[in-house]
Amino acid sequence: MKSYKIALYTGYCLVLMLLASCKLGKEYVRPDMKLPELNRENTAEADTVSFADMPWWEVYGDTILQGLIRKTLDQNKDMLTAQAKIKELAALKRVDLSKLFPQIDGKLYADKDAENYGGNHYKSSPELTGKFLLSWEVDLWGNQRWGLEKSKAQLLGAMDNRQALQVSLVAQMAQSYFELVALDHRLKIVRQTLRAREEGVRLAKIRFEGGLTSETSYQQAQVELARTATLVPDLERSISEKENEIALLTGNFPYQIPRVELEQIASQWADKEIPMGLSSALLERRPDIRAAEKTLMAANAEVGVAFTNLFPKLTLTAQYGLESGELQDFFRSPAHFLSANLLAPIFAMGRNRAQLKAKKAAYEQQVYQYEKQVIIAFKEVRNALIGFNKSKEVFASRKKLEDAAYSNNKLANLQYLNGYISYLDVLDAQRGYFDAQLSMSDAVLGKQLALVQLYKALGGGWTN
């Protein structure tokens, strides 16, 4: 008889496990989008290799910049926050996983109830209880498994968000560093021009006092000197602010940032074509797109939870232990309790179906957001690619302008010393050369920033 009961209970468990394997609801399928070519002008390029597949330390060869990026990835407060968020969601996923299994609790209880009605009928009712309590909500329709799937998607999404943050931080640090170096170079140009302006004032004064020129030329030289001097404080302020910005990225208080000269920044991709790779690979390389897809997967799992809430829930409860009113009989007083509870939704004014419709609408919103993120990614890649190609043309044209302005300035100074032209012509030539130098500095910075934006747009910078 005992063997029969054991076999019967085992059969019940097998049936329940079979029922628990049922999972109702629609499995997630990635939205089908017709993806354009990344580089329409060079569609014959390698299909699998991408610029973004290179690690960031190979793209940015400056060792000082590499050190700043590493410090940023290790100490940036946003990065540390993202890592803590991953820990939180990993723990919450473990909570949802535990819901699939029976829960066992222990209970120790002692009680003494005494009463004495009328003063002559004292009655003591002690109770000692020690039990194991088992409860299990059988996942008949996949409700809890949908909840676990949602937790997994949220955890993976947090990991993708951390990787997207890394891509952004690498780009931010590279951009800020290049901007700082460019500001140094602009300040260097301004100080060189100041020295030239001071020499011009000295020569204009000598020629004025010698009666060779009017006082107007001398005053104009002083105006140009003062105008150039006004640029120095603004540049020094901008340099300090940029240093503070970089220190914040590294998670530190403001400090002096080491850097190289602008001329030392190597542009190893200046004359090379950038391989784009397959358009579909962009969906896997860009962590922000993957994070958007994980949000979509979590929304789909919420639809599954809402759908399975329409069906009955089965909860099993069991208790086994010892229970006695006397301590000496405690270990000889076994007690057990078994129960099954089937809770089926019957009438709730359409609440469950309304919740299902709401979750479906929320999923639809996330589909549109995912598709929007993909479109944004391709727009950013196209813009970055155009910007990178045009930056090389801008650099070449401004290089010609700087060379021409240098020659014109040199000739104007020579002609002025020989009395062929007025000082106004010299000032025009000096202003032209000064502007060309600043424009050339901006062109060098533009090339570097275009490289940064292209690398970021392709999803590069998060591979460790």
Cβ-based neighbour number of residue 115 at 10 Å: 9
* Superfamily (CATH) of domain 103-138+314-344: Outer membrane efflux proteins (OEP) (2.20.200.10)
Percent of the chain with pLDDT over 90: 58
Least Cα distance to 220 among 203, 245, 236, 233 occurs for 203
**Confidence at residue 324, expressed as pLDDT on a 0 to 100 scale:** 76
Query: For domain 23-100+141-310+350-457, is the CATH number 3.30.1490.20?
Result: no
**Confidence at residue 9, expressed as pLDDT on a 0 to 100 scale:** 54
459 phi-psi bin (left φ>0, alpha ψ -120 to 50, beta other): left
**Hey, where are the domains in the chain?**
23-100+141-310+350-457, 103-138+314-344
Helices (H), 324-350: none
The end-to-end CA distance of the chain, in Å, is 64
Looking at the predicted structure, is the pLDDT value of residue 103 above 80? Answer: yes
Residue 362 CA to residue 461 CA, distance in Å, equals: 32
Summarised one tens digit per residue, pLDDT across range 386-411 is: 999 899 899 999 999 999 999 999 99
Mean pLDDT, residues 61-67:
93
Percent of the chain with pLDDT over 70: 90
3 state SS of 107: strand
Binned at pLDDT 50, 70 and 90, residue 6 comes out as: very low
**Confidence at residue 157, expressed as pLDDT on a 0 to 100 scale:** 97
**Confidence at residue 450, expressed as pLDDT on a 0 to 100 scale:** 93
Least Cα distance to 178 among 439, 463, 450 occurs for 450
Looking at the predicted structure, is the pLDDT value of residue 72 above 90? Answer: yes
Within this chain, domains 23-100+141-310+350-457 and 103-138+314-344 share the same CATH topology:
no
Summarised one tens digit per residue, pLDDT across range 192-234 is: 999 989 988 888 888 888 887 778 888 888 999 999 999 999 9
Summarised one tens digit per residue, pLDDT across range 285-338 is: 899 999 999 999 999 999 999 999 999 988 989 888 888 777 677 677 788 888
